[in-house]
Structure 1
Amino acid sequence: MDTSAAPSPRPWTDVTGAVPGLKLVVLDMDGTLLDGDDAVPDAFWDLLPVMQDRGIVVVPASGRQYATLERMFGDHGIRTFIAENGTLVVHDGEVVSTSPVDSPTVGQVIDIVRTGETDRDLGLVLCGPRTAYVEREDARFVGEAGRYYASLRVVPNLHAVEDLESGTVLKCAVYDFDSAAQAAPSLFTGGGPGVADLRDSHQVVVSGRNWIDIMNGSANKGRALRALEMSLGIPRSATAVFGDYLNDLEMMAEADWSFAMDNGHPAVQRAAQFIAPRNTDGGVVQVLQKLLGV
């Protein structure tokens, strides 16, 4: 996404009042909606019924799996999700779109991570539509993976998992205990000797301090949002999005009301229309209160 000619984002206080006709609110989780304790702010739950009463579709959009998002929000009446960084979109229990990674690439990633473990402290999660798989079974890694994958299975050999054989792996999520930004070039983008550049055919996204996501070349949250807007018949003029990191970048172009968090990545801030307060200051809630006029 080329943001070189994009105008500078404005402070969220430039939004002068409630936005009539708002129909879709799309929320990244970590660094965006979630607070410093990785929890949904209490004030958000007060706003949710207001949005639902107005017919606004509220959509968690995350690198987390569908099962995790459904566990977090399903009991509150949220039924639409952009999961696995856009490789799976679900509305009212029905799949709107899916973008699996081809099985040969998944196998290559498994081998790269296994080899890279000699130099870096790595773990790999293969993400299927219903469950995720790991072969590293120590509590340190499984605990980190379990934060994002409510449905997680430890298996003896990732090459033998059912979703790999059926070609339905949605994402390969690599955890580096040190720095994902350092690990990505040396492992997946041609920076190290003999390392293939998977960016030629796939999305290689640093989605946080420790996570690298390898996805279908056409998959990202922006494309997922566009598919959802088309499915629901909601235009970008009636859509608001919130995000903070590079895996949120493409979403900014799919909504007229796009907000990058004040704690967000500079590239995401440049792509957004507005800068919202930090997630630790309840930035999403503050902006939603203004957009809703409450």
Structure 2
Amino acid sequence: MDFRLVATDMDGTLLNDQRRIPEGFWKVLEQLREQDIAFAPASGRQLATLQTQFERAGEPLSYIAENGTVVVHNGEIISLTTIDGETVHSIIDAARESSVDMGVVVCRPERAFVERFDAAFREEGSQYYLALDEVEDLHEVVNDEVIKVAIFTFADAEKDCAPVIRAAAPGANVVVSGEHWVDVMDKSANKGHALATLREALGIAESETLVFGDYLNDTELMKAAGTSYAMANAHPDILALADEIAPSNAEAGVVVVLQNLLSEEL
């Protein structure tokens, strides 16, 4: 298998069940670099969070952050997709009025904002948003720099939360990014579009890309790659879509697959 770019989702994919990067990944990253193969995390997580998680990797490292609304290459943002303010205001109101227990995160490239202060919600949100500010009214932070709205629910995101948010944002891209998370972006934004943007910057063909994913927000990422791997723990729709199945994230499946492929390349 010839590949020149690897992109992987984080939660449920590269990260183990303790939400940490497996120790074996760092040796694999060295091997990728030795063979001139680019690597990029492709996550719903905030750019600042990803940069902290991969600080050990040094540079160069590309990033697909916030479900594809932010793409970074050579230390610069090469793609930024914003969402219109009217949609953001509608989502905030819908979440406040809903009987479903949910909390909203308004995301801008450099920071994210919440108006819900309870410990359980803050603990969940801070795992994904390192640069996170508490404000009294989310409506006041909405401007033309908002790239995403993330909604956390203690209920079932796919069954209980997503229908409410889709009704409030009918023209947006509403994706279920985890068991308890729904993300909303501009209709043009997704991980697949971001991957194509990064490929073009690197001069790499679609057939030379390899991706890993596990959840519904990875759908376009899987479709935009030459070869796609779903984790064994993936959502059924992602398992059905993928070209190959990797061991679960708990078994460091991304590391295992890459180790095997890199040994074949030698």
User: Where on the TM-score scale, by shorter chain, does this alignment land: which range?
Assistant: over 0.9
Deviation, 1:139, is 1.6
Residue 120 of structure 1: aligned partner: 100
Does the CA-based 8 Å contact 1:256-1:273 persist in structure 2?
Answer: no
Distance 2:211 2:79 in 1: 19
Residue 48 of structure 1: aligned partner: 29
Does the CA-based 8 Å contact 1:184-1:206 persist in structure 2?
Answer: no
Residue 93 of structure 1: aligned partner: 75
> Please, which runs of 5 or more residues in structure 1 have no aligned partner?
1-18, 191-195
Q: In structure 2, what residue type is equivalent to 1:55? A: D
Pair 1:80 & 2:74 matched: no
Residue 160 of structure 2: aligned partner: 183
Deviation, 1:185, is 4.5
Distance 2:103 2:70 in 1: 22
> Please, which runs of 5 or more residues in structure 2 have no aligned partner?
none
Pair 1:257 & 2:227 matched: yes
What are the superposed Cα offsets for residues 23-73 of structure 1, whole Å, 9 maximum, x if unpaired? 111010011111111111111112111111222111011100000000000
Aligned residue for 2:155, secondary structure, equals coil
Q: TM-score when scaled to structure 1?
A: 0.86
Q: In structure 2, what residue type is equivalent to 1:48? A: L
Pair 1:111 & 2:88 matched: no
Aligned residue for 1:292, secondary structure, equals helix
Deviation, 1:258, is 0.9
Matches within 5 A, 1:99-178: 99-116=81-98, 119-161=99-141, 164-165=142-143, 167-178=144-155
Aligned residue for 1:219, secondary structure, equals coil
Aligned residue for 1:82, secondary structure, equals strand
Q: Percent identity?
A: 46
Aligned residue for 1:153, secondary structure, equals strand
What are the superposed Cα offsets for residues 146-171 of structure 1, whole Å, 9 maximum, x if unpaired? 0000100001111111xx22x11111
Cα 1:91/1:74, change in 2 over 3 Å:
farther
Distance 1:185 1:146 in 2: 21
| 1:210 aligned residue (168, 172, 180) | 180
Deviation, 1:141, is 1.0
Q: In structure 2, what residue type is equivalent to 1:275? A: I
Distance 2:117 2:186 in 1: 27
Structure 1: 4+ residue segments shifted above 2 A? 182-186
Residue 221 of structure 1: aligned partner: 191
Q: In structure 2, what residue type is equivalent to 1:227? A: T
Q: In structure 1, what residue type is equivalent to 2:114? A: V
Distance 2:56 2:245 in 1: 30
Matches within 5 A, 1:15-34: 19-20=1-2, 22-34=3-15
Does the CA-based 8 Å contact 2:211-2:229 persist in structure 1?
Answer: yes
Cα 1:86/1:140, change in 2 over 3 Å:
same
Distance 2:163 2:201 in 1: 39
What are the superposed Cα offsets for residues 211-258 of structure 1, whole Å, 9 maximum, x if unpaired? 011110011100110111112111112111000100001111221121
Does the CA-based 8 Å contact 2:101-2:153 persist in structure 1?
Answer: yes
Q: TM-score when scaled to structure 2?
A: 0.95
Distance 1:100 1:210 in 2: 23
Rg comparison, structure with higher value: 1
Residue 3 of structure 1: aligned partner: none
Aligned residues: 263
Distance 2:23 2:77 in 1: 30
